[in-house]
Amino acid sequence: MNLKHLGLRIKRQREKQKLRQIDIANALHVSSQAVSKWERGENAPDISLLVELARLLDISVEWLLVGEFPEADTFDATIFCTSLNGFAEKSKTTHPRDLATEMNSLFFTITEIVLKHNGVPVKYVGDGFLAFFTGENSRTNAIDAAIRSRKLTGNNDLIVSLHFGAIYLGTIGHPDYSCKDILGKNVNTCFLVLPWIAKNCGSGIGITKPTLDEEHEFTYCGKLTTVAGLEQEVFQVDYS
């Protein structure tokens, strides 16, 4: 996301609602300095604050991120998820602390790349990372981030799955332990095709047909039917 534009939207809506920075800060349990940095485009709100911030400003999360007006909290996005080939086997022979150090290094690099390509990181689970991209160029930005992740990490075991479709962003879980997450059949699809991509896409990056753009080159890899009965045509992203 463009932090300057995001900051302008936050400031404009805050003033429209006749709210002060301290009002936003108190409602979200953050400092007024943090809100000021958001509005100056120096930083972005944590994903855990997006839904509540949007409610305070009387806008949708999608408009907050990209300036458009779909149904609140449900919007089209390019979903980005990763896994590592051989992670289960490696975890058997690697000390948990060493494994955590290695994964933190990998996740840091991928997260920075996603942020620089206007993506929104969501969570880390085991060897997996989940993020999403919104806006008119979400497909291209996500593909660019996937290619950059493979190149910059130099990790040939890194597998990236991309899928475009409607997602829900909201609070999930017990009130005392809940966190923001994205849900929906399209998120499930992105995860379900990961193992197939690992076996059938030599570049390590696979995308579904709805995710194709006009900026990159692709090779058709085949059609799969997931365990959930979903049929998807998958393409390999070709890059050098």
Q: Using 50, 70 and 90 to split pLDDT, how confident is the model at 151?
A: very high
The CA-CA-CA angle for residues 198, 133, 47, to 5°, reads 110
Gap between the Cα atoms of 2 and 188, Å rounded: 28
Crossing angle (nearest 10°) for helices 50-57 and 21-28: 140
Q: Which of 2-6, 118-122, 148-152, 228-232 has the lowest mean pLDDT?
A: 228-232
pLDDT in tens, 183-224: 999 999 999 999 999 999 999 999 999 999 999 999 999 998
pLDDT in tens, 87-141: 989 899 999 999 999 999 999 999 999 999 989 899 999 999 999 998 889 999 9
For residues 150-174, one letter each, b for 16 or more C-beta atoms within 10 angstroms of the residue's C-beta and e for the rest, the string is: beebebeebbbbbbbbebbbbeeee
Gap between the Cα atoms of 134 and 141, Å rounded: 9
Q: Using 50, 70 and 90 to split pLDDT, how confident is the model at 225?
A: confident
Q: pTM of the entire structure?
A: 0.73
Burial class (CB in 10 A: 0-12, 13-18, 19+), 30: middle
Domains identified in the chain and CATH numbers:
3-66 (1.10.260.40), 74-238 (3.30.70.1230)
Burial class (CB in 10 A: 0-12, 13-18, 19+), 66: buried
**Range 62-72 average pLDDT:** 66
